[in-house]
Amino acid sequence: MGSGVNVLCPSPSRAVSPSGSPARPREWENESNASSPGPEYSGPRLYKEPSAKSNKHIIHNALSHCCLAGRVNEPQKNRVLQEVERSAATHFLILFRDGGCQFRALYTPCAGDPPVLRRLTGSGPRLVPLPMVQELYKYHSDRKRFSRLPARTMSLSVDAFTIPGHLWQARRGTPRKDNRSYSHGDGNNSPTK
């Protein structure tokens, strides 16, 4: 173990045999291999070490191809994508208005007791406690659409969610629909001339 080789998580360039000793390097890993025909590869490294699990690229695709696709939504899409790039978070969640998958806001999970989702941008509650989450969705890049997950537990495979409809507030300044009849002061409901 003193050789500096990590037995639990070997990197592809330092393979470890089951006995714990460094394995024999493969031909393509040798820098000066006489048996390889052709010049050495000097381009970018093809293998990228996996970092913390992130859905940043999935959210980018979902916003670009599904939620905020088209020229009409381009300014809003650009604002949301800028927030994603600015954020230090690794996991993002889209809030939908309902099962119609209409974009409302972008959230990121925050540790706490109880854990909550914090809004980065968009319209929706500033904080969403996990019990408030109603439905969970996963984005499929190949089909360019979301599918509802039967799960009730928030995990890293979740890309979007909804909250119950009664939690959405009516916009301020929007008249409420009611069944009152309006009069013009004379008790007559007919239009005045």
Tell me if 76 is assigned to some domain: yes
Cβ atoms of residues 122 and 104 within 8 Å? yes
Sequence-separated contacts (24+) of 108-112 with Cβ below 8 Å: 109/154
Tell me if 36 is assigned to some domain: no
The predicted-structure confidence for 122-164, as pLDDT tens digits, reads as follows 999 999 999 999 999 999 999 999 999 998 888 888 999 999 9
Tell me if 9 is assigned to some domain: no
Residue labelled with tokens 């929706």: 124
Beta strand pairing call for 135-140 and 116-122:
unpaired
- Give mean pLDDT, residues 166-170: 74
Cβ partners under 8 Å of residue 132, min gap 6:
125, 163, 164, 167
The predicted-structure confidence for 1-23, as pLDDT tens digits, reads as follows 444 433 333 334 444 444 555 55
| CATH number of domain containing 118 | 3.10.20.360
- Measured in residues, the chain has a length of 193
Tell me if 183 is assigned to some domain: no
Full residue range of the structural domain in which residue 89 is found: 56-166
What Cα–Cα distance (Å) separates residue 40 from each residue in 12, 28, 45, 135, 188?
A: 19, 10, 13, 52, 92
Please give the pLDDT value at position 168: 77
**Cα distance between residue 42 and residue 135, in whole Å:** 48
pLDDT band at 46 (very low <50, low <70, confident <90, very high): low
The predicted-structure confidence for 24-41, as pLDDT tens digits, reads as follows 555 545 554 455 555 676
Tell me if 193 is assigned to some domain: no
Tell me if 25 is assigned to some domain: no
Which amino acid is it at 56?
K
Residues forming beta bridges with residue 138, ordered by sequence position: 147
**Cα distance between residue 169 and residue 62, in whole Å:** 26
The answer to whether residue 180 scores a pLDDT higher than 50 is: no
* H-helix segments, the chain: 56-62, 74-86
- The pTM of the full predicted model, rounded to 2 decimals, is 0.62
Residue labelled with tokens 């970092």: 51
Beta strand pairing call for 160-162 and 135-140:
antiparallel
- Give mean pLDDT, residues 176-186: 48
Residues forming beta bridges with residue 136, ordered by sequence position: 149, 161
- Count up the domains in the chain and report the number: 1
Tell me if 177 is assigned to some domain: no
